[in-house]
Chains A and B, each alone.
Chain A
Amino acid sequence: MLNYTFHWNQAFKALPQMLDGAVVTLQIALLSMVLGVALALTLTAFRLSGSRILRGFAATWVEIARNTPALFQIYMAHFGLGNFGIHLSPFTALLIGIAFNNAGYLAENFRGALKAIPDTQARAGRSLGMTPIQAFRLIVLPQMLRVAFLPATNQMVWAILMTSLGVTVGMNTDLAGITQELNARSFRTFEFFALAAVIYYIIAKLVTLAARLLAARMFKY
């Protein structure tokens, strides 16, 4: 039954190549978070706006992003848009798909964080002569970021793991893509994917640790 012989050497020899892929993975995840945060802030502003259209747009985005598979979202960015003549490279499609997903989750996170700050905080700022924008920027926003920060790091980890879905749209330069190509050539599936999993794990842990250190520096109260 167990007549499989492990060949770890092949996997370890490919380690430098896989680590190059890990760098690409981290790049996509970071970019998708930057885009995701920008989009989520916009969506949050839309949700608070007076316009029914903007509110509806934001609500629809959040609903789709959070209640459909991330794989479909990435597929849509690549093949779905392709049907309309918009041909995005695997890298761009993957980035857009993950950013779309991030934005949905982060918008919900930001909304919750905003609700956690009592109205009286902005009111206290206004009573000191601040404009509504000053009261938001100087008093509400910094407190909101603290509440939103750790859930946002979870999303960052999730974004790193989601990049592996890129193989389905032909992404072949990130960790999952390179692992898949090595596997296709050698059929050493277990060894390559186990090694890749360890690399994903280490990246995720390092990101979480970095976020915690950053949070301790940024939020002293």
Chain B
Amino acid sequence: MIEIKDVRKSFSTLEVLKGINLTVSKGEVVTIIGGSGSGKSTLLTCINGLEPINAGQITIDGTVVHAKDTDLNKLRRKVGIVFQQWNAFPHLTVLENVMLAPRKVLGLAKEKAEEIAVKQLTHVGLAEKLNVYPNRMSGGQQQRMAIARALAMSPEYMLFDEVTSALDPMLVGEVLDTLKMLAEEGMTMICVTHEMAFARDVSDRVAFFHHGVMAEIGTPDQLFGAPQHPDTQAFLASAR
């Protein structure tokens, strides 16, 4: 379970998160929608401790993320994250990209890491690309590789930060299908996205962020069907 309690976060004088409260249970899929600069991506990088927070608390299965004695490297093994820019490691083949962390972080033997990597890459439809370098692949393929790379660590939670925003429109579908598949398999996920149809389809709950505040949260039917907050209504009207 991920518990976010009254989290505040500023970049110098700009407060981007103004007291966020959110609890995500095991197996739940929560998507976060909202305009640019609403703080939704920042929240994700705070959850896995890549960014410090100014106030409040985030706990993952009882571990306080920003406590001084928390081993973030260990915590991150169970919280995978995939970014808008997939950040493929260009000097490694697709297979090596996915094997690297299981070998070096989890300390698995080469054969075992390779087995896991092949399995995950097959899962995201890249079984044909094992020995290719990332720059020989499309953005959608690289993004799916990045998802496999995160999954190879056997995370319990996955964070997706606008993973289709940097893709050509034609390639968005293949990545969303991959996310949908994960959701159906029961992965606990928090997805920041601009894809409204996707949010409506896969989410257990959808949250709307506006200027650093979670203005509204509810089931897809509630939020898309009968939004309560005027800002949600305005956002959804413009998004359609």
Q: At the interface, yes or no: B50 with Cβ under 8 Å from chain A?
A: yes
One of B73, B90, B150 near A131 (C-beta < 8 A): B73
Q: Mark A84-127, 1 if CB is under 8 A from B, else 0.
A: 00000000000000000000000000000000000011011111
* A129 in contact with B90 (CB, 8 Å): no
Tally inter-chain residue pairs, CB-CB below 8 A.
Answer: 60
Q: For the complex, give the distance between the alpha carbons of A221 and B81 in Å.
A: 25
Q: How far is the CA of A138 from the CA of B146 in the complex (A)?
A: 17
A220 to B81, CA, bound (A): 28
Could you tell me if A130 and B48 are in contact, using CB atoms closer than 8 angstroms? no
Cα separation A36 to B134 with both chains bound (whole Å): 33
Are A128 and B50 within 8 A (Cβ)? no
Which partner residue on chain B sits nearest A130 by CB separation?
Answer: B105
* CB-CB under 8 A for A130 and B50, given A120-B87, A121-B89, A221-B91: no
CB closest residue in chain A, given B48: A127
Chain A residues lying within 8 Å of B146, measured Cβ to Cβ, are 124
Contact A130 B101 (CB under 8 A): yes
The answer, among A129, A131, A138, A221, for a CB contact under 8 Å with B153, is A129
- Please tell me if the beta carbons of A130 and B73 are within 8 angstroms of each other in the complex: yes
- In-complex Cβ contact of B50 among A121, A123, A131 (8 A): A123
Residues on the B chain within 8 Å of A219, using CB: 91
In the complex the two chains form, is A221's CB within 8 Å of B135's CB?
yes
A128 adjacent to B87 (CB under 8 Å) = no
Interface size on A, residues (CB 8 A): 20
B121 at the interface (CB under 8 A from A): no
Query: Known contacts A123-B50, A134-B104: does B153 contact A128 (CB below 8 Å)?
Result: yes
A69 in contact (CB, < 8 A): no
Q: Specify which chain A residues have a CB less than 8 angstroms from the CB of B80 in the assembled complex.
A: 127-128
Contacts of A151 in B (CB 8 A): none
Contacts of A125 in B (CB 8 A): 89, 101
Q: Closest residue of chain A to B102, judged by CB?
A: A128
Assess A121 versus B87: contact at CB under 8 Å? Given A127-B81, A128-B101, A128-B149: yes
B residues within 8 Å of A by Cβ?
A: 48, 50, 73-74, 76-77, 80-81, 83, 85, 87, 89-91, 100-101, 104-106, 133-135, 146, 149-150, 153
Give 11 A-B pairs besides A128-B150, A134-B104, A221-B91 with Cβ atoms closer than 8 angstroms.
Answer: A124-B87, A127-B50, A127-B76, A127-B81, A127-B150, A128-B101, A128-B149, A128-B153, A131-B73, A219-B91, A221-B135
23 contacts across the A-B interface (CB closer than 8 A): A120-B85, A120-B87, A121-B87, A123-B50, A124-B83, A124-B87, A126-B50, A126-B73, A126-B76, A127-B83, A128-B76, A128-B149, A128-B150, A129-B153, A130-B104, A130-B105, A131-B73, A134-B104, A138-B100, A139-B89, A143-B90, A146-B91, A221-B135
